[in-house]
Structure 1
Amino acid sequence: MSTVTRKLTAWLAVSAALFLFSVVSRAQVYYGTVRGTVLDLSGAVMPGVEVVITNVGTNISQRVTSNEVGNYVAPNLIPGIYRVTAEKSGFKKFVADDIQLTATADRRIDIHLAIGSAAESVRVEGGAQLIETENGSLSDVKSREVFTYVPVNAEYRSIWNLVQLAPGVNGAYGHTYAGAGDGGNDGYDTNFTIDGIPVKDGWTGWTMGPTMTYIDSYSEMRVNINGTNASSGQSSEVAVVSESGTNRLHLEAWLHYNAVGFRARDFFDPVSPSGPPTWRPNFQVGGPVILPKIYNGRNRTFFFFSWQGLRGSQSPQTVDLTVPSADYRAGMFPSTIIDPQSGQPFPGNTVPASRISPVSKYYQDTFYPAANTGLNRYRNVKVFAQGNNSYATRLDHKLTDKNSLFFRILVERSVPAGRWDSNNPLIGVASQWRDNYLQVLSDTHVISPTMVNEFRVGHSSDESYYAGPNQGHTVVAASGLQLGNNLPDVPAMPAMNITGYNSLAQTPQGGWLWSTYHLQDSLFVVKGKHNLHFGTQISQYLGTMYPSSPSDVYGSFTFDGRFSGNPYADFLLGLPSGSSRRTSVSPTYPHRLNKEFYVTDDWKVTPRLTLTVGLRYTLLDPGTIAKNVIANFNVTAKALAIPASAQSLVAPEYKVDTPIVTADKVGLSDKLLNIDRNNFAPRFGFAWCPGSSKDLVIRGGGGVYYVGMQPYISDGGDAPYEINQSFTNSVANGQPLFAFPNPFPTAAVQGGSGGFAASGMNPKLSTPYSMQANFTVEKKVLGMGISASVMTTMARHTVFWHNLNAVPANTTPFNVKYASVP
């Protein structure tokens, strides 16, 4: 059994156990609610009336009963079009059609029963919800119709483009919104979910962007600018709902063609844009699951499948390199070249072939193209292909009249996008790929007419890797460089930086794998005028970071003409003026486990006044790096604090003056940060409809909102586990300190490691949070909902950096100032 399989099996086992014990979390990020009061025509409440809420598309119903004060609530309803009916002996049947329910929407449908025969009915039309009458949250909803018909002025028809149309959003264009927020919040205060499952990496707070690239497999997007309900962790949220099948078989296929030449010229550009076009083919199908003579899934089982892709080319890559001329390649120079061994000029200003380093000749002949423009210019152009595929499948099934579930899987895979590395065709094609996966399973169980439970478990992942085309071992063996026997087998290329020429180097490896395992369970209880929610949310974040340090082990070498008088002559002689390298303990494996709990009450004080009160408790893990390869600069001790278990992993080359202490010596755990356990977040909201009409509502609220993840020290590695080493070459009595094929000084003359930038975080750092409030007035006018809102945000305990090397401001003369910490 693989490590991944063992982890997944263990996690599912824990999930199953938690399901047996847990009560709840934030299901309303996906589901909607229909509520109201049953009255007779005199205005008296009517308890014991059965209310049926039916999804018109699937014909699946939820039955609830009005309680002792006439209230009914139907939570956990899939977004769609609904019909609400109510019947009682001696009264006409009540029917409300075309109730358009969006995700997290709270629709109020009051039922007025008139005396008469049950064969008669009173019908009303619901339509879209124009104003919010039940809570104080601020939100903006975009439906599938908006996805389809609103023009998106961008190459990608993505959720990210539509998010910017929501009021209050301050994110920049496209994916940069992943680090921005809405309602005055930053990225740490904004959550991103698909069907209620977070799509954030859980370590840095950045979203798994490609999961929201394609909009056509989703039915709705809601931007909660300021949530007043304790069921939401952050103050703002972007919640996306996937498309589901209905009783009607539906198939669509279309092609989105983007011709760069059709775009308008930017006002400041002299010419219109040009470049290759892209095609985005799309196909989707949904309906009831029907297996002829075996199974008829009408009114019971539904499917939806979509495929969306990208085919086309990247913008042309133009190459314009400065390369050595044919004479320079042969060691012939137009001016005097000094022989570093004798200190005298080379005869004929020519480096003898016997003195040209085999390492340099290999690099020159293998990676420098011959000039094709003038003496020393190489020019070329090429167009590389690009593409990706997104597959989404969803299955909805009604197990019993009281139990239903759905399962969805999303697979998004990119075709590796290639480019000539370092803009040099002979170095080869560097590429990057990125894959995203999302799975969610949800089960809704109607325990009684006044109690509903929803359990949800999900997983999202984001994996990407990029690197240059050459393996380090291959280049070292072919060139003859002597770099030691412990080189990692990774894409790498010792870099040659020659003054006046394009460097010979490739992209170091890089990438990440983020996996989020999420479990939540929601319990909804109706008690008189109170609608109670209880909840818990558990998120396990596992990561793998692929930094550049393994590639950097192979080193970088600089040639500036210090020894011969010409940079390229120094290169041919194999005499770098300086060399550098880095040690590595990568990759690193960060992980953390977050736990959150809440209780909230929507109290219908009067038919026109609703109060929302709640409390959320958040326990955020500062995180751990596998093998504990982290360090935190401790200001009091003026030393790097490290976990005791990581002492053996300190780089032998670490020889700087900053001392090292173990965490226990400075009163810390191996996390190097104290866990803040005082994260209580109260919430309050109200919605009031003054007067006799419900065309006007005054609402608002606010609360305390903690960030989605605790700030962390680092991704692991760095000093004192990874050390940057830099060496300066010199020549004494005709002998260099180092030269090809041994481009680093021997251990006997290595004076020490290079310097490093030590950073630290206050180990007693409190969890950052914001305090936010809003006030809104909404009114129906001419078939529209007009809204005016004011909102305020205040942040507390936010992270800021202080440079301890900076001299504090004071009146002491400059020449005698000293920093507080050296």
Structure 2
Amino acid sequence: MFKSKSRTCCEILVTALALVCWTLPTARGQVSTGTFTGTVADPSGASIPGATVTVTNEGTNVSVARHTGGDGIYTITDLQAGYYTLKAEASGFRALVNKHVELTVGFTQRIDFHLQVGAVTEEVTVEGEASPVDTETARMSELVTARQVANLPLNGRNVFQMIQLAPGAVNTTGLISEPGNRGFTTVVNGARVNMNGYQIDGVTDNGLSGGSNTQPSQDTIQEFRVDTENISAEYGNTVGAMTTMITKYGTNQLHGDAYEFLRNDKLDGREFFEDTRAPFRMNQFGGTLGGPIKRNKIFFFGSYEGERTRAPVNELVNVETPQWRDLVIQSSPNSVAALLYKDFPAPSPQGATTSLQDYVTNVSGNCSALDAGCLSGTYGIDPNSPFGQALLANRSLPMFGTISATASEFTKQQFYDGNQFSGRIDYQGDTNKVFGRYFFDRYSDPYYSPATNGGASAAFVALRRFTSPTHFDYPSLSIGWSHNFGPNVLNEARAGWTRGVGDVASNNSGVPQITFDTGEVEFGNYAGYPQIFHEEVFQYADIVTLTHNRHTFKMGAEVHRNYENSEFNVGRPSYEFLDSLAFAAGQVEAEAAGVDPGQIDQVTGQSLGNAHLSSNIRGWRNISFGAFVNDDWKVSPRLTLTLGLRYDLYTRHTDK
């Protein structure tokens, strides 16, 4: 009996949902498109049912027509951002035309028509009449228009920098190391950087660790919108800002551009505290081309951009003297220090140097005097050995000093050395709209090292010819299909694939990372290199939008299949020394290496044995799913209620 009642309840629920979907007839898709809505009324303000409202894209000449309902309200959805001509017609009234009205991404533009009595063949024309204020939604958002994208000065022409124009957005570049937007990090309303969400052409562009995967060229962006408060239930996986970006599309006119932007230290002024100008070269060049394949139906748009950066980094660092290197090589020729000093010497220091005596007593402070007791007690050096005798006989030997050194670099913050290209095809039919876009971005730096990208000066190992070549690839594919089931039902299907490849190599993995408590320039690459991070996201989303009278009902779901393949470990060990004297003596202070601890005691947290060196190759897999319902209820022309509910599921990660 219980099972029968349960089954009956489920049947009733399914039937009720089916009836709701059947009786609510219209659609408003606003992920990467826009909507026109409004009323058509006579001179007295009474609604005109059955009036025809036609909107025409002025770039592609594609038109869409809808009729007003019994309350005189019309809604036209799924329109590309751009400029439109709107025309309202009704029997017994003069036609009213509103030209050059801008529609922006993710925006519902209200355009009301007040028709005058007269013949249908008579026409009244106005231009650009539209409310500059969002009167249809309660969200807080910032629109970055095509004009702003084209004309605002951007450091490195990184369009994501304009997110910081939104209310509540704070520039945290250089303060927070979480993934952001290739050189920029932005906190919105206090949320973490990696909690911001990104969509390009309606397809998610978030990396699995946060931040945006794609860095599109400024010349390919039509416009974008940043939602910061009261974000629709349609958007999941974000508690900061939701940035919705759309790329340019072709029109009936063949158009394009070619450009080059450059920065050169020859054109720069000298910093106040610097004697010379810091060397810097950046050339960014490319072009775009868009137009019709079949007029009024099929359009294309393509782009290419290259960037070449040469930004040598200057750093004041501590290095050993040639005299100290010679002493170690001659008196302790079989030591590891002698081998590394011989094969990977640092440049000679400039200016004043510190003697061996001062180094031991003042810089490292490990001894009160450089004598036999210091050598044997602190450093474990036999005073009677050739090395010990050489130290005691050369207390005034110059041991180390400072140098203002320079290392090459091809990537610096938002500047990089690479190429990107993109291509987009659009089809505009009567009931179907289809688009496809492919984007590819690749850059690399053969001279990368942690010190040249914000690390400690002691990590300036490029001075010893240690580099960590990097390689990054960011391809993505987006496909979208919108279909109108009659004039009032819209289905939007979108599929996407994004891939992020980040590889950091080591040009001399045989040398371990060697650090000094006294801050001299290290030996070897960072112990965590080489490392790889390869991630892929396959996604599919489907959204149905329906309206009935004063309700706009929207429901949809999306699923992401996430792949994360990585190799990050410290299998190359690192060694820490008290100072350069301990290094020469082979007295290790601490060692770290990638170790599998084996079985762990649950109480003490200590290994129970069988600890061993191990790799950290991982192939993580998981699925994320989200579904939502949303209802925009226009209670009156001056009051709209937005009701929404969303459910998200993130499955546990499994290792392939």
What are the superposed Cα offsets for residues 123-152 of structure 1, whole Å, 9 maximum, x if unpaired?
A: 232356411111111111111211222223
Does structure 1 retain, via aligned residues, the 8 Å contact 2:347–2:463? Answer: no
The corresponding residue for 2:552 is 531
The corresponding residue for 1:299 is 296
CA RMSD of aligned residues (A): 3.3
Q: CA deviation at 1:299?
A: 0.7
- What secondary structure sits across from 2:218 in the alignment? coil
* 2:476 is aligned with 1:438: yes
Counterpart selection for 1:604 from 629, 634, 637: 634
What are the superposed Cα offsets for residues 420-469 of structure 1, whole Å, 9 maximum, x if unpaired?
A: 78434554432222221221111111111111111111122222111321
What are the superposed Cα offsets for residues 225-258 of structure 1, whole Å, 9 maximum, x if unpaired?
A: 2135322334531111111111111121121122
What are the superposed Cα offsets for residues 675-715 of structure 1, whole Å, 9 maximum, x if unpaired?
A: xxxxxxxxxxxxxxxxxxxxxxxxxxxxxxxxxxxxxxxxx
If the length of structure 1 is used for normalisation, what is the TM-score?
A: 0.61
Q: Aligned AA for 2:124? A: V
Q: CA deviation at 1:54?
A: 1.3
Equivalences for residues 195-214 of structure 1 within 5 A: 195-202=201-208, 204-208=209-213, 211-212=214-215, 214=217
Counterpart selection for 2:264 from 252, 259, 262: 259
Q: CA deviation at 1:615?
A: 1.9
* 2:233 is aligned with 1:230: yes
- What secondary structure sits across from 2:78 in the alignment? strand
The corresponding residue for 1:245 is 250
Does structure 1 retain, via aligned residues, the 8 Å contact 2:407–2:462? Answer: no
* 2:410 is aligned with 1:391: no
> Structure 2 stretches of 5 or more lacking a match?
1-20, 354-397, 412-416, 450-458, 596-613
Q: Aligned AA for 1:582? A: G
* 2:551 is aligned with 1:554: no
Q: Aligned AA for 1:240? A: M
Q: Aligned AA for 1:365? A: K
Does structure 2 retain, via aligned residues, the 8 Å contact 1:555–1:581? Answer: yes
Q: CA deviation at 1:106?
A: 0.5
The corresponding residue for 1:147 is 149
CA distance 1:286–1:274, shift in 2 (3 Å): same
Q: Aligned AA for 1:279? A: N
Cα distance in 2, alignment partners of residues 369 and 274 from structure 1: 22
* 2:311 is aligned with 1:314: yes
CA distance 1:585–1:129, shift in 2 (3 Å): farther
What are the superposed Cα offsets for residues 591-615 of structure 1, whole Å, 9 maximum, x if unpaired?
A: 3322221122222222333222222
What are the superposed Cα offsets for residues 280-323 of structure 1, whole Å, 9 maximum, x if unpaired?
A: 1131111112xxxxxxx111111111112212311345585624
Does structure 2 retain, via aligned residues, the 8 Å contact 1:26–1:231? Answer: no
Counterpart selection for 2:106 from 104, 122, 125: 104
Deviates more, 1:313-322 or 1:88-97: 313-322
The corresponding residue for 1:72 is 74
Cα distance in 1, alignment partners of residues 578 and 170 from structure 2: 47
Does structure 1 retain, via aligned residues, the 8 Å contact 2:461–2:467? Answer: no
- What secondary structure sits across from 1:429 in the alignment? coil
* 2:500 is aligned with 1:495: no
| Paired residue total | 542
What are the superposed Cα offsets for residues 641-682 of structure 1, whole Å, 9 maximum, x if unpaired?
A: xxxxxxxxxxxxxxxxxxxxxxxxxxxxxxxxxxxxxxxxxx
CA distance 1:43–1:419, shift in 2 (3 Å): closer
CA distance 1:600–1:160, shift in 2 (3 Å): same
Q: Aligned AA for 2:564? A: G
CA distance 1:98–1:590, shift in 2 (3 Å): same
Cα distance in 1, alignment partners of residues 150 and 252 from structure 2: 22
Does structure 2 retain, via aligned residues, the 8 Å contact 1:36–1:72? Answer: yes
Q: CA deviation at 1:619?
A: 2.3
Does structure 1 retain, via aligned residues, the 8 Å contact 2:560–2:623? Answer: yes
- What secondary structure sits across from 2:469 in the alignment? strand
The corresponding residue for 1:756 is none
Cα distance in 1, alignment partners of residues 58 and 70 from structure 2: 29
Counterpart selection for 1:130 from 129, 132, 136: 132
CA distance 1:580–1:118, shift in 2 (3 Å): closer
The corresponding residue for 2:288 is 284
Does structure 1 retain, via aligned residues, the 8 Å contact 2:448–2:470? Answer: no
Q: CA deviation at 1:73?
A: 1.0
Does structure 1 retain, via aligned residues, the 8 Å contact 2:329–2:339? Answer: no
Cα distance in 2, alignment partners of residues 592 and 617 from structure 1: 17
CA distance 1:585–1:135, shift in 2 (3 Å): same
* 2:597 is aligned with 1:567: no
Cα distance in 2, alignment partners of residues 457 and 534 from structure 1: 17
The corresponding residue for 2:436 is 407
CA distance 1:588–1:324, shift in 2 (3 Å): farther
Q: Aligned AA for 2:90? A: K
The corresponding residue for 1:35 is 37
The corresponding residue for 2:490 is 452
CA distance 1:46–1:458, shift in 2 (3 Å): same
The corresponding residue for 1:170 is 170
Deviates more, 1:454-463 or 1:503-512: 503-512
Counterpart selection for 2:564 from 529, 543, 550: 543
- What secondary structure sits across from 1:444 in the alignment? strand
If the length of structure 2 is used for normalisation, what is the TM-score?
A: 0.75
Does structure 1 retain, via aligned residues, the 8 Å contact 2:312–2:408? Answer: yes
Q: CA deviation at 1:93?
A: 2.2
CA distance 1:546–1:123, shift in 2 (3 Å): same
Q: Percent identity?
A: 25
Does structure 1 retain, via aligned residues, the 8 Å contact 2:111–2:130? Answer: no
Counterpart selection for 2:506 from 468, 481, 496: 468
Q: CA deviation at 1:526?
A: 1.9
CA distance 1:127–1:94, shift in 2 (3 Å): closer
> Structure 1 stretches of 5 or more lacking a match?
1-20, 290-296, 334-349, 476-492, 628-822
